[in-house]
């Protein structure tokens, strides 16, 4: 495999300075004209009034292909996912309309005026909260990612799925969540000494319920009312959802109606039949809440083609860790033989998307692009071989290995397993 | 005026710990029943499948009153504003659908495949960039506010306008903008020694154009392609807008088509007939680009009523500064006689919304709520009297004085000028 040079920022700037026609193109001077009809030379948009104001804005019609991709079984239409188009997005915030979805029995219609949250079980005083009452508690905001435990599940298969980056790795999104720290509500109810877990139940048609260690609820858990500034979207738990920063999606329970404190986990369907990992020795790896450190090159990626004018391209992607901050992202263009540090967009926030980027010079060579994230604990994202060595080959959930894009000499890009 | 106590966070927690029934209410234990029909006790949402997945999500129908408020003259329907409903939002990000609008001749329909940005004037080589070409340049992200120079303009009037907080102070929003640093493009074109300004022109029906100091374009200006992760919304400049962090809205030119480098400002209609301040001595204060430090209590605020159960309320609001980071926000409940420091949501970012909050105990007293922001340079947001003493009484633009909400003894809230 040929080595492909990665460019440092300094090299990139030298490169552009040396090449005036690299992306822009120069124009001949316009000669003076006195009889110009400006309708002929101005764009049409400048010759007429534009559209009026709107109460709630929508994306440009020119971007109507930038959508969540829906994967749901027609026989059980409310059970499935829709993928966030990460390959079409930039920055770190996922706009609310494109936040990934994972539902077990569809999106319930819940009137916030009648919805309540019950806190009961091993508490001194069971309490019930209306949504209006919750708004009187102190609220906190946190920008953090939520990733489905089943994200990237096709990467456990023996052949790579040839789909756009977001449509196979996009069950992860990043938003500013605002709401009431759960500890305030639990403290008000009074926690009995033997309480160690809480069973969180959703008000959806799946009666989804899962067990959550009390320790996490007393740490950084938020009972979210707002998502990127506005009230939660229906598909993200309106009117109330749990947000457990850094923990797998299933325990960020949407449409939350109850937290019942218990001594032991309830071993519900949703934490036994799903979201556990079958290990090589036949045991189940369970309660692997914390999403491991991971990264993904979003551009260039599968399905894109590099035009026939070789030159500098911006490699860019996202890294995230349930353990804290991303401390480093390295990029390889030769399938992992050599690595170069990418630039991390500041500020780097804990348990949140971190955007990385690096200029790359492509002159028509074969290449295999990879990214490898390291978090502040020193944990390094494993190769696919390393992950399989540890977890066996029967995985479905919790895939966090390095993801690879092959660039062919004619500029097409494929999803590959080079190791 | 009676003094009303403001509570520190510690006091708030003590208060809730002492009062189990403060907002939640306790429930009698359910007696065991063997013949339960769960359809009778479960919410309807749990007895049926929910709605399916969606390609692009929308707000809950229950929140359909959370909208931008449109103020446009029917005779000139594309000239006006729509206000961001800040009094209904939380956190710091403004969702794209609710980002304020200010248009001079409506929202143009621009095909990104044909749109170009021309950089000419005092450059070595005039360059024209397609949108696709711009995507090959390095991009950076920045969370920052954009505020219209005319925001809060009604506060220059002799009587306060009785309107919701967002509908008189909400021509300001905060988003993550991503795009190409403008300096890369200018450097590629080559800047002549005598270039000191750039004239930025929009491709809209107003042919909006303004002069911008070259120094700012070489500092932190971004040619934005993305807004909160997705491509710009049409009303926010699709396909290209200038983002000049901390500077007044008008110079964050939307639908950007040209940057012409010049020696002096062009003195366009949009920077002479508008966006200048008539000073007491009859001169015009012009090119006041940097938006001054300001804050606003968003809740409680005009139009809200405090229910008839007095107790602890969360005062919360937003502060921002074109000069850098907010270092402090103080809150008063007695019209400025005494002040208490509010808590600032972390991380505090430069030239971005900072959310502040403080618990407040209301027991039916008359109160005047105010917030006062200080930025990292030490500048303190002035009172209305102080602003008028400096700028005279003929102002229309650039109002940044303290904003006051009066709470009556029956819990109604009014916009007032207490000083």
Distance CA A269, CA A275 (A): 10
Which of B250, B268, B285 is the C-terminal boundary of a domain?
B285
Q: Which of B67-94 are b and which e, b meaning 16 or more Cβ less than 10 Å from the residue's Cβ? A: bbbeebeeeebbbbbbbbbbbbbbbbbb
DSSP codes, B306-324: --SS-EEEEEEEEEE-TTS
Length of chain A: 419
Interface of B with A in 15-44 (CB under 8 A): 16-17, 20, 22-27, 29, 43
B354: in domain? yes
Q: What is the CATH number of the domain that holds B109?
A: 3.90.420.10
Sign of torsion over alpha carbons A320, A321, A324, A330: negative
Give the nearest partner residue to A229 out of B93, B109, B126, using CB atoms. B93
DSSP, res A163: S
Look at residue B6 and tell me whether its pLDDT is greater than 60.
no
Distance CA A403, CA A172 (A): 15
Task: Give A57's contacts in chain B (Cβ within 8 Å).
Answer: 68, 96-99, 101, 233-236
> Do residue B50 and residue A238 have CB atoms under 8 angstroms apart?
no
Under the phi-then-psi rule, with left for phi > 0, alpha for psi from -120 to 50, and beta for the rest, what region is A67? beta
Q: Which residues contact A43 (CB under 8 A, 6 or more apart)?
A: B110, B114, B115, B203, B257
Angle at the Cα of B56 from the Cα atoms of B52 and B62, rounded to 5 degrees: 70
Q: Which residues contact A73 (CB under 8 A, 6 or more apart)?
A: A79, A80
pLDDT at B296: 98
Does residue A172 sit in the same domain as residue A209?
Answer: yes
For the CA atoms of B409, B412, B414, B418, what is the dihedral angle to 10 degrees?
Answer: 10
Q: What is the mean pLDDT of residues B130-141?
A: 94
Does residue B280 sit in the same domain as residue B336?
Answer: no
Task: Give B84's contacts in chain A (Cβ within 8 Å).
Answer: none
Does residue A209 sit in the same domain as residue A337?
Answer: no
B360 to chain A, any CB pair closer than 8 A? The answer is no
Cross-strand pairs, B230: B227
pLDDT in tens, chain A (419 residues): 333 345 444 444 443 333 333 445 555 444 444 565 665 678 999 999 999 999 999 999 999 999 999 999 888 889 999 999 999 999 999 999 999 999 999 999 999 999 999 999 999 999 999 999 999 899 999 999 999 999 999 999 999 999 999 999 999 999 999 999 999 999 999 999 999 999 999 999 999 999 999 999 999 999 999 999 999 999 999 999 999 999 999 999 999 999 999 999 998 988 888 888 888 888 888 888 999 999 999 999 999 998 767 788 999 999 999 999 999 999 999 999 999 999 999 999 999 999 999 999 998 999 999 999 999 999 999 999 999 999 998 889 999 999 999 999 999 999 999 87
A70: in domain? no
A69: in domain? no
Does residue B275 sit in the same domain as residue B313?
Answer: no
Distance CA A124, CA A398 (A): 37
> Do residue A139 and residue B51 have CB atoms under 8 angstroms apart?
no
Does residue B118 sit in the same domain as residue B248?
Answer: yes
Q: What is the CATH number of the domain that holds A364?
A: 2.60.40.650
For the record, the structure tokens of A325 come out as 């901050």
Reference A340, options A94, A87, A8; nearest CA is A8
Does residue B274 sit in the same domain as residue B304?
Answer: no
Question: B294 with B326: CB under 8 angstroms?
Answer: no
Distance CA A127, CA A331 (A): 51
Look at residue B61 and tell me whether its pLDDT is greater than 80.
yes
Name the helix (H) or strand (E) containing A307. none
Which of B233, B254, B285 is the C-terminal boundary of a domain?
B285
At residue A6, φ and ψ (nearest 5 deg) are -100, 140
Number of neighbouring beta carbons within 10 Å of residue B346: 12
A46: in domain? no
pLDDT at B41: 78
Does residue B299 sit in the same domain as residue B252?
Answer: no
Cross-strand pairs, B356: B317, B344
Question: B326 with B291: CB under 8 angstroms?
Answer: no
Q: Is A364 helix (H, G, I), strand (E, B) or coil?
A: coil
Task: Determine the angle formed by the axes of helices B9-18 and A182-189, rounding to 10 degrees.
Answer: 40
Number of neighbouring beta carbons within 10 Å of residue A293: 24
pLDDT at B140: 97
pLDDT at A38: 60
pLDDT at A36: 58
Look at residue B10 and tell me whether its pLDDT is greater than 90.
no
Distance CA B277, CA B381 (A): 18
Distance CA A383, CA B156 (A): 63
Length of chain B: 419
- In total, how many domains does chain A have? 2
Does residue A267 sit in the same domain as residue A169?
Answer: yes
Q: Is B347 helix (H, G, I), strand (E, B) or coil?
A: coil
Which of A285, A304, A335 is the C-terminal boundary of a domain?
A285
pLDDT at A252: 98
Q: Which residue is it, tokens 């009066």?
A: B406
A214: in domain? yes
Question: A95 with B95: CB under 8 angstroms?
Answer: yes
Reference A169, options A403, A418, A406, A413; nearest CA is A403
Task: Give B311's contacts in chain A (Cβ within 8 Å).
Answer: 136
Number of neighbouring beta carbons within 10 Å of residue A266: 18
B218: in domain? yes
B403: in domain? yes
pLDDT at A35: 61
The average confidence (pLDDT) of chain B is 91
pLDDT at B14: 41
Task: Give A184's contacts in chain B (Cβ within 8 Å).
Answer: 13, 16
CA R_g for chain B: 24
* pTM listed for this prediction: 0.93
pLDDT digits (tens, 9 = 90+) for B342-392: 999 999 999 999 999 999 999 899 999 999 999 999 999 999 999 999 999
> Do residue B233 and residue A203 have CB atoms under 8 angstroms apart?
no
pLDDT at A39: 59
> Do residue B53 and residue A229 have CB atoms under 8 angstroms apart?
no
Distance CA A298, CA A301 (A): 6
B305 to chain A, any CB pair closer than 8 A? The answer is no
Does residue B115 sit in the same domain as residue B234?
Answer: yes
Please return the burial class of A190, using the count of CB atoms within 10 Å of its CB with bins 0-12, 13-18 and 19+: middle
Interface of A with B in 225-244 (CB under 8 A): 225-226, 228-236, 238-239
Share above pLDDT 90 across residues of chain B, in percent, rounded to a whole number = 80
B111 to chain A, any CB pair closer than 8 A? The answer is yes
Reference B352, options B95, B179, B174; nearest CA is B174
pLDDT at B38: 60
Reference A147, options A195, A100, A111; nearest CA is A100
Give the nearest partner residue to B49 out of A55, A105, A115, using CB atoms. A105
C-alpha of A390 from chain center: 25
Q: Is A187 helix (H, G, I), strand (E, B) or coil?
A: helix
Look at residue B18 and tell me whether its pLDDT is greater than 50.
no
Best-predicted range by mean pLDDT (A25-34, B13-22, B246-255): B246-255
pLDDT digits (tens, 9 = 90+) for B301-334: 999 998 767 788 999 999 999 999 999 999 999 9
Question: A251 with A149: CB under 8 angstroms?
Answer: no
Q: Is B297 helix (H, G, I), strand (E, B) or coil?
A: strand
Distance CA B212, CA B198 (A): 5
Task: Give B90's contacts in chain A (Cβ within 8 Å).
Answer: 139, 141, 178, 225-226, 229
Does residue B158 sit in the same domain as residue B194?
Answer: yes
Number of neighbouring beta carbons within 10 Å of residue B118: 18
Reference A51, options B108, B341, B281; nearest CA is B108
Number of neighbouring beta carbons within 10 Å of residue A131: 19
Does residue B277 sit in the same domain as residue B298?
Answer: no
Residue that wins the pLDDT comparison between B30 and B214? B214
- Of A323-332, B149-158, B270-279, B344-353, the range with the lowest mean pLDDT is B270-279
pLDDT at B23: 47
For the record, the structure tokens of A300 come out as 């260039």
For the record, the structure tokens of A247 come out as 């923990």
B94: in domain? no
B349 to chain A, any CB pair closer than 8 A? The answer is yes
Which of B56, B315, B358 to probe the A interface (max A CBs under 10 A)?
B56
> Do residue A106 and residue B82 have CB atoms under 8 angstroms apart?
no
Question: A71 with A80: CB under 8 angstroms?
Answer: yes
For the record, the structure tokens of A251 come out as 């325990």
Does residue B313 sit in the same domain as residue B279?
Answer: no
- Tell me the residue range of the domain where B231 lies: 101-285
For the record, the structure tokens of A312 come out as 């500098």
Reference A258, options A111, A120, A134; nearest CA is A120
Distance CA A237, CA A239 (A): 6
> Do residue A63 and residue B187 have CB atoms under 8 angstroms apart?
no
Q: Is A236 helix (H, G, I), strand (E, B) or coil?
A: helix
Distance from CA of B222 to the nearest CA of A (A): 13
Interface of B with A in 153-182 (CB under 8 A): 175-178
Give the nearest partner residue to B95 out of A77, A127, A228, using CB atoms. A228
């Amino acid at each position: 495999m040929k080595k492909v040079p990665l460019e440092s920022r300094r090299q990139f700037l030298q490169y552009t300075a040396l090449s005036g026609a690299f992306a822009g193109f120069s124009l001949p001077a316009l000669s003076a004209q006195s009889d110009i009809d400006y309708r002929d030379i101005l764009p049409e948009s400048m010759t007429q009034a534009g559209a009026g104001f709107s109460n709630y804005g929508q994306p440009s019609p020119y971007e109507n292909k930038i959508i969540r991709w829906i994967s749901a079984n027609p026989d059980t239409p409310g059970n499935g996912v829709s993928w966030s188009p990460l390959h079409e997005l930039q920055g770190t915030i996922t706009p609310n309309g494109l936040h990934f979805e994972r539902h077990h029995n569809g999106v319930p219609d819940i009137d916030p005026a009648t919805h309540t949250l019950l806190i009961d079980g091993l508490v001194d005083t069971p309490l019930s909260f209306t949504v209006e009452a919750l708004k009187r508690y102190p609220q906190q905001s946190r920008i953090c990612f939520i990733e489905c435990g089943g994200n990237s599940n096709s990467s456990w298969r023996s052949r790579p799925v040839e789909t756009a980056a977001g449509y196979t790795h996009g069950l992860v999104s990043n938003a500013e969540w605002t709401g009431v720290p759960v500890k305030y509500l639990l403290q008000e109810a009074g926690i009995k000494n033997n309480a160690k877990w809480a069973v969180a139940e959703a008000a959806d048609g799946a009666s989804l319920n899962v067990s959550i260690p009390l320790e996490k609820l007393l740490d950084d858990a938020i009972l979210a009312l707002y998502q990127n500034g506005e009230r939660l979207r229906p598909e993200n738990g309106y009117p109330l959802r749990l947000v457990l920063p850094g923990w797998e999606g299933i325990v960020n329970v949407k449409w939350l109606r109850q937290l019942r404190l218990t001594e032991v986990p309830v071993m519900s369907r949703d934490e036994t039949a799903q979201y556990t990992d079958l290990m090589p020795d036949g045991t189940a790896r369970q309660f692997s809440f914390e999403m491991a450190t991971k990264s993904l090159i979003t551009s260039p990626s599968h399905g894109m083609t590099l035009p026939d004018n070789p030159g500098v391209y911006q490699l860019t992607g996202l890294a995230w860790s349930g353990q804290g901050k991303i401390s480093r992202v390295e990029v390889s263009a030769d399938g992992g033989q050599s690595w170069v540090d990418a630039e991390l967009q500041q500020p780097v926030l804990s348990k949140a998307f971190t955007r990385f980027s690096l200029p790359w010079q492509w002159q028509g060579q074969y290449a295999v692009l990879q990214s490898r994230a390291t978090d502040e604990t020193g944990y390094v994202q494993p190769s696919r071989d390393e992950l399989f060595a540890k977890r066996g080959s029967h995985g479905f959930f919790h895939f966090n290995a390095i993801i690879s894009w092959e660039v062919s000499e004619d500029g097409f890009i494929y999803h590959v397993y080079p190791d």
